[in-house]
Amino acid sequence: MLRFALAGNPNSGKTTLFNCLTGSTAHVGNWPGVTVDKREGLYKKCKEPISIVDLPGIYSLSPYSPEEVISRNYILDEKPDCVINIVDVTNLERNLYLTTQVMEIDVPVVIALNMSDVLKKNGDKIDEKELEKRLGVPVVVISALKNEGLDELMERAYEASKKKRIGKTVLEESELAHVIGDVKIALEGQGVENPLFHAIKLIENDEIERTMHAETVKMVEAFKKTFKNDLFGVDFEALIADARYKYICKHYSSTLTKKIKGITDTRSDKIDRVLTNKWAGIPLFLVILFTIFHLTFSEDFLWSSYWGLPSLEALGVMVEGAEGELEPVNFGIALFSCLYDGVIYSPGVVLFNLMDLLTSTVFGWLTEGIASLGASEWAISLIGDGVLGGLAGVLSFVPQIIMLLLLLSILEDTGYMARVAFILDRIFRKFGVSGRAFIPMIMGFGCSIPAMVNTRTLLDERERTLTIRTIPFFSCGAKLPILVAVAGAVGNMLGLGDGAWISYAMYVVGMALAVISIIVMRSTTQRGEVAPFIMELPAYRLPSGKALMIHLWDKTKHYIEKVFTIILASTIIVWFASSYGWDWRPAEIQESILASLGQFLQPLFTPLGFGSQLNEFGWVFVVAAITGLIAKEEVIATFGTLSALFTTVVAPELAVEGATDVMLMTIGTGITWQALVAFIIFNMTTIPCFAAVAAARGEINKGKFKWTILFWVVASYIATSFVYTVLSWWWTAFIWAAVIALVTLGIVIWNKKFAK
Ligand code: GDP
Ligand code: MG
């Protein structure tokens, strides 16, 4: 089958093009470094099916970043039938820098001039015919976003793939032309493929080439001794880069005619003056994050409880139900109560309520249906308590999680995320972390796994390690149910109404722990230099609705799949282990397998607030935290299953009206609100889910992986016991302060010694 590779600068639209061509749903983001691995898909509209490979974005084919190496090796070793070099035409010169290098390889090349819609809007013009003549390879104007010119692009690429092409260089006009020719002939003599490309890289002092062609290095060195350049001396890399840019400006730039404008700022510049302002930048970022969380899970996001609005009860639309609790008079009112009950709910909470109404109605019918069919008692318990009790808890949160992901994707797509990296770089550089590391961290609010993969753009191996370790502290979407449900119970205990403020505080604690861990690791086990941070800021863009929808649909599918596979399976196991004893017979919940396992581990959690100090039912928190290692949603699913069993079997009088699963657990175990807060912190900071652990293992050096697991265990243990003890007994803060001071002193002294 034919294989075409997409190569181009970061943010030039490769993934957008890839998605259009293959109908796939890869993630598109308006900041460099979204695609860090290659990806394959099928294009079917040509005479033969064509496999399309989306390569990571790169500025050159030097071996300085992992992406550059991946893309370079792919083109050289895998020999695609054609390279489609996608060029952001609004940044023509810089993008053509890569083109000049790709053209040196003996492979068919077609240039796709992307973002032509932006060009048109700016009133600029590109003469693609002329550019094609000067470059000597086909040039096609496209807009990946608007789906324009793609058929022609593939047609031309298909034609090109049928012909052989010999590499060509723009350096033939430079003073190095001679030596390039000599080295090329020498390499050809050795039977090296792509001799022109390798010859030039060798002269550039490219490390990979120097080890690969040790023989020829001598020849290059001999030449270099005789060479003298006024401007760059013997820095051949700079010399060659300069020659490329000069050639581009002289021969290619004139094909682009820009509409003459005054020296006014672009709109992006104006927005940036505010958003990346030295003083306002960080507060604005925090406000934006707050707004995102507020829209997602605040019950009262317009502060409408201060408006004195009447509750549904006061409106007289509630009636007394069979068990004495208040119910809406009809389904219409039930629907309305998802939006409003004395307060106006935030969009996220409305979504939650609607989904909750849906699941509880459908699951109610299911349970009744099974009972009326005369199913046996254990089947009713398995399906009613085990499966439905657990799944309902998780399913209700899916729309809310998706909403959070939507808001985060909008941040990425507008180009704001790149600014955040830029703002944070100014501060965190001092602590040894570049702003680039914050992009994966903030991605972690969605899901840790793509965030960990994204760290491949970090050059310093140690910076990468510590970034991967701190990513789970940025509470992911799957942890949102824990946050909302447990914080809701805490808010209820403290009479705060809803738990939104506690949830915000939890996010802040997570971020603070990340910063502290970074500082500690950078000054102990993961010392290192901060790599320079070079990332251009992409222009602000309105997010594309289509890309967002594709992305969200993908995530929704993923969550639903997860609920009906992993979560369902582990929920059944939890139900079984809590309904049966070690003799495999039905047992009271307190004599069950799960209870004995939980009780065995319980003492370990005493310093964290949810261990032995709780009553005989207190093991449920330990069990829930441990099932969270499978998937973080499982924590809430476990509460659902256990509280269903608990209220049907152990303490039916606890089935109070309107009490959530977590509230039932709270009443049943006698846990304090401080320990509940500690429980959230523990789940947020401890070992992430299996899938994320596997991702970390793939991304981190082998030797460092087991330390990473230990790091998560220790960090969460310390952070959780800190939160629990200080909230419970304020004076313990002094003990902690003393310990922290001692440890800091220890590190400082150790480092002084170490430095000598
Ligand atoms: P990659 O980093 O090269 O994979 O680039 P992406 O495909 O992730 O796209 C980067 C940004 O450019 C996204 O915000 C896209 O929506 C946007 N984009 C891609 N192609 C076009 C285009 O043809 N026109 C416009 N206006 N925007 C585009
Ligand atoms: Mg991409």
- In this structure, the answer to whether residues 11 and 93 fall within a common structural domain is yes
Give the whole-angstrom CA distance, residue 310 versus residue 353: 19
Q: 199 lies in a domain?
A: yes
Q: Give the Å distance between the CA of 246 and the centre of ligand 2.
A: 29
CA atoms within 13 A on the CB side of 355: 20
Q: Are residues 129 and 57 in the same domain?
A: yes
For 397-410, what is each residue's pLDDT tens digit?
A: 899 989 998 998 89
Residue 132 — pLDDT band, cuts 50, 70, 90? very high
Residues 299, 492, 388: CA angle, nearest 5 degrees: 75
For residue range 449-493, list pLDDT tens digits in order.
Answer: 888 988 877 777 888 899 999 999 999 999 999 998 999 899 988
The reply to whether ligand 1 has any atom less than 6 angstroms from the CB of 395 is no
Helices 593-601/568-579 angle, 10° precision = 90
Contact 465, 620 (CB under 8 A): no
Residues 27 and 162 in one domain: yes
Q: What is the Cα–Cα distance from 405 to 421, expressed in whole angstroms?
A: 19
Residue 720: predicted pLDDT: 96
- Indicate which residue's Cα is closest to atom 25 of ligand 1: 115
35 pLDDT more than 60: no
Residue 140 CB less than 6 A away from ligand 1: no
Q: Does residue 751 form part of some domain?
A: no
Q: Among 143, 168, 193, give the residue marking a domain's end.
A: 168
Residues 568/575, Cβ–Cβ less than 8 Å: no
Q: Which residues, 6 or more positions from 362, have their beta carbon under 8 angstroms from its beta carbon?
A: none
Q: Supply the residue whose CA is at minimum distance from atom 16 of ligand 1.
A: 544
CA distance 681 to 678: 5
- Whichever domain contains 107, its CATH number is 3.40.50.300
CA distance 752 to 428: 22
Q: What is the rounded average pLDDT of the residues 225-230?
A: 70
Residues 214 and 162 in one domain: no
- Decide if pLDDT at 722 tops 70: yes
Neighbouring C-beta atoms of residue 234, cutoff 10 Å: 12
Q: Which residues surround ligand 2, an ion (CB under 5 A)?
A: 15, 34-35
| Residue for token pair 């290619």 | 252
Q: Per the domain annotation, does 618 fall within a domain? A: no
Find out whether 636 and 394 touch, Cβ atoms under 8 Å.
yes
Residue 352 lies in a domain: no
Burial 469-504 (b: 16+ CB within 10 A, else e): bbbbbbbbbbbbbbbbbbbbbbbbbeeeebbbebbb
Tokens in use for 73? 């090796």
Residue 721 near ligand 1, beta carbon < 6 Å: no
What SS3 class is residue 284?
helix
The size of the chain, in residues, is 756
Q: Please tell me whether residues 32 and 134 are part of one structural domain.
A: yes
Please state the atom number of ligand 1 nearest to the C-alpha of residue 10. Answer: 2
Does 78 reside within a domain? yes
Give the number of other CB atoms < 10 A from CB of residue 550. 18
CA of 454 to the centre of ligand 1 (A): 18
pLDDT digits (tens, 9 = 90+) for 509-533: 999 999 999 989 988 888 877 766 6
Nearest of 291, 325, 17, 279 to residue 147 by alpha carbon: 17
How many domains are there within the chain?
2
Ligand 1 lined by 7 (C-beta under 6 Å): no
**Separation of 23 CA from ligand 1 center, angstroms?**
16
* Domain boundaries, position 199: 172-237
- Least confident span in 129-143, 214-228, 331-345, 462-476: 214-228
Q: How far is the CA of 303 from the centre of ligand 2 (A)?
A: 40
- 3-class DSSP assignment, residue 79: coil
Query: Do residues 533 and 593 lie in contact, with contact meaning Cβ atoms separated by under 8 Å?
Result: no
pLDDT confidence of residue 413? 84
Q: How many helices (H) and strands (E) does the chain have?
A: 34, 10
* Residue at a domain's end among 121, 138, 168: 168
Candidate from 6, 9, 11, 59 with most ligand 1 atoms within 8 A of CB, to mutate: 11
Which pair of tokens denotes residue 598?
A: 């939980």
pLDDT average, residue stretch 374-391: 82
Query: Which of 11, 12, 16 has most ligand 1 atoms within 8 Å of its beta carbon, as the pocket-test mutant?
Result: 16
Asked whether residue 94 falls in the same domain as residue 51, the answer is: yes
Closest ligand to Cα 540: 1
Residue 517 counted as domain residue: no
* Residue 733 pLDDT grade (very low, low, confident, very high; cuts 50, 70, 90): very high
Residues 19 and 163 placed together within one structural domain of the fold: yes
Distance CA(345)–CA(302), nearest Å, equals 8
Identify whether residues 113 and 190 lie together within a single domain. Answer: no
CA angle at 169 for the pair 164 and 175, rounded to the nearest 5°: 155
Q: What is the pLDDT of residue 30?
A: 53
Estimate the crossing angle of helix 633-645 against helix 568-579, to 10 degrees: 40
Contact assessment for residue 565 and residue 571, using Cβ atoms and an 8 Å cutoff? no
Q: Which residue bears the tokens 């039905």?
A: 586
pLDDT at res. 142:
95
Contacts of 281 (CB under 8 A, 6+ apart): 275, 419, 423
Gap from CA of 102 to ligand 1 centroid (Å): 21
Ligand 1 within 6 A of CB of 16:
yes
What is the rounded distance in angstroms from the CA atom of residue 228 to the CA atom of residue 217?
18
Which of the ligands is closest to the CA of residue 13? 1
Ligand with smallest separation from the Cα of 14: 1
- Asked whether residue 561 is domain-assigned, the answer is no
Ligand 1 atom at minimum distance from 33 CA: 2
Residue at 191 is within a domain = yes
> Are 218 and 134 within one domain?
no
What tokens appear for 329 in the block? Answer: 């008079």
Does the CB atom of residue 34 touch ligand 1 within 6 A?
yes
Average of per-residue pLDDT across 88-93: 90
72 Cβ closer than 6 Å to some ligand 1 atom? no
Q: Can you give the pLDDT at residue 650?
A: 64
pLDDT at 10 (0 to 100): 87
27 lines ligand 1 (CB under 6 A): no
Does residue 12's CB lie within 6 angstroms of at least one atom of ligand 1?
A: yes
- Starting from the CA of residue 58, give the closest ligand: 1
Ligand 1 centre and the CA of 58: distance in Å?
A: 15
- As a whole number of angstroms, the distance between CA 721 and CA 609 comes to 7
Instruction: Tokens 């949830």: give the residue.
Output: 503
Task: Indicate whether residue 413 lines ligand 1 (CB < 6 A).
Answer: yes
Chain centroid, CA 692 distance in Å: 11
pTM (global) more than 0.85 = no
In the listed set 237, 258, 285, which residue is the last one of a domain according to the structure?
A: 237
Same domain, 163 and 176: no
Ligand at shortest distance from the CA of 544: 1
Mutate to test the pocket of ligand 1, among 145, 150, 457 (most ligand atoms within 8 A of CB): 145
What's the distance, CA 279 to chain centroid? Answer: 27
Q: Is 686 in the pocket of ligand 1 (CB under 6 A)?
A: no
Cβ of 145 below 6 Å from ligand 1: yes
Does residue 67 have its Cβ closer than 6 Å to ligand 1? no
User: For residue 204, which phi and psi values (nearest 5 degrees)?
Assistant: -70, -5
Rounded to 5 degrees, what angle do the CA atoms 734, 739, 740 make?
Answer: 95
Together in a domain, 16 and 118: yes
Q: Is the pLDDT of residue 36 over 60?
A: no
The percentage of residues in the chain with a pLDDT greater than 90, rounded to a whole number, is 38
233 with 139, same domain: the answer is no
What pLDDT does residue 608 have? 94
* Whether the Cβ atoms of residue 20 and residue 68 lie closer than 8 Å to each other: no
- pLDDT tier at 33 (50, 70, 90 boundaries)? low
Which residue's alpha carbon is nearest to atom 9 within ligand 1? Answer: 13
Q: Is the CB of 13 under 6 A from ligand 1?
A: yes
- Beta-carbon contacts of 97 under 8 Å, excluding residues fewer than 6 positions away, are 59, 60, 241, 244, 245, 248
**Better pLDDT: 684 or 313:** 684
Rounded CA separation 396/352 (Å): 6
- Look up residue 748 and give its amino acid: V
Q: What tokens were used for 254?
A: 């004139």
pLDDT of residue 697 exceeding 60, the answer is: yes
- pLDDT > 70 in the chain, percent: 94
